[in-house]
A and B are shown apart, each in its own frame.
Chain A
Amino acid sequence: MRPFDYVEIRVPAKPQYVGVARLTISGLASRVGFTYDEIEDLKIASSEAITNAVQHAYSEVDEGEVVVGCALYPDKIEIMVADHGKSFDFEETKKKVGPYHEQQEVQFLREGGLGLYLIETLMDEVKVHHQEGVTVFMTKYVGEEQVEENVETISS
């Protein structure tokens, strides 16, 4: 038995489905046991990745699909977002995604802009893979401290 539950969502590459995928991921994250704030972070990060995928898919084909794969572990969630409509073998694709290199990703960065920055800030690990489109692979651990931001919350 594999060590995680796997849920895959496929949505048309249209902006109106970003929120649908976000809602699903929010539900999955709460199943894993993330806190309210962590779930909000996950919602933003995954929406950013899906928004990028939607915009990317749009510019290339008319009727693209975005595939979002979520692996649920006891202590973390792994989310993979691909802008090419094909389903992926989660484990295989996971092996292929390399660490994030700033120079290589300049093109993607420019497209993603603030979005990719937010993904990096809100998630614990981020990897980007270019082959037949762009795949973003991101991980968030339950209860991982997000130092700077927590300070403010306490003082308010």
Chain B
Amino acid sequence: MVDYFLFDLDGTITMEELLPRIARKIGVWDEIYELTKHTIAGDIPFEVSLRHRVEILSRAKVSEIRKIVAGVELNPDILRFIQKNKHKCYIVTGNLDVWISELVERIDIPVLCSMVSIKDDMITSLRTVLNKREAAQSFQGNFVAIGEGANDYGMFELASESIAYGGVHEPARQLLEIATYLTYRSDTLCNILSQL
């Protein structure tokens, strides 16, 4: 019996990775691309990478980035599953509270994320970087973890079942060393989620 479903956000619920999307829109793609690639693969620790990427992306106004993030396409199969199982679903993401707030309103489930301080619509400091293992520890009972990046590892370790989802990009190799399932299609993903 599953008590909770913990979803990664970027590249799982969203049809594209958010930080590269922001980078493209504000013209810092080259600086972000390599960092993101190595972060997803687990070559750079997530916290180090996030701090670095936030530093680069913080050159733009928070409201501008929030708008860019809000317009991202969401996976319709996953969204449908979430709507049907709202009371059990949570988003667990390293992304920033101020950037994803509008997007999360569209999904309409609770979110655990990284937090920043802002002043005059600009980020002044990264207050907390979400550690997914610690976030998962706060859930009592059986939970299923769904994600694709190296930073989902801690959440996968604690999950009763874990599903690596490769719908947007290839899941991190180390995640597959502990995952229960792997799928590349969101309909297959939602099929197994509804059976667990």
Q: Do A and B come from one complex?
A: no
Using a CB–CB cutoff of 8 Å, the interface residues on chain A facing chain B are: none
Using a CB–CB cutoff of 8 Å, the interface residues on chain B facing chain A are: none
